[in-house]
Amino acid sequence: MQFMLLKLTPVRTFFVKLFFGKPEQFATKTMNQTETKKLIKKLEDAYVCCKDCGFEWGVYSVGCSSTWIGICQVCVKEKPVTETRDYGYFMTGMRKLKLSLKKS
């Protein structure tokens, strides 16, 4: 029985990799330079964003902000949106993206 398990482990690992990819692919999105530059521009131009994009690219800096249903200028979905000002205008996200541009 133990022998069987040992034999099966590499196969299982293979399928796990096949279906889920490498773990680091979850943590960081793989973007090329052009995509990164486009995203920086998008974040710079965005005036309103949804909560998800706000938390992903910025830091929430106010206690409460007024939200309304609109189109998020980052993910382009109809969601409750708020001003990007409430997330520090995505300064932290843009800094990270610009750093990743320099590294590559």
Nearer to Zn ion, 74 or 94 (CB): 74
Q: Which residue has the tokens 């920086």?
A: 40
Residue from 40, 43, 74, 97 touching Zn ion (CB under 5 A): that is 74
Nearer to Zn ion, 62 or 75 (CB): 75
Q: Could you say whether residue 39 binds Zn ion (CB under 5 A)?
A: no
User: Which tokens go with 98?
Assistant: 């610009």
Written as one letter, the residue type at 68 is W
User: Which tokens go with 26?
Assistant: 């979850």
**Is there a contact between 68 and 48 (Cβ–Cβ < 8 Å)?**
no
Nearer to Zn ion, 14 or 55 (CB): 55
Binding site for Zn ion (CB under 5 A): 50, 53, 72, 74-75
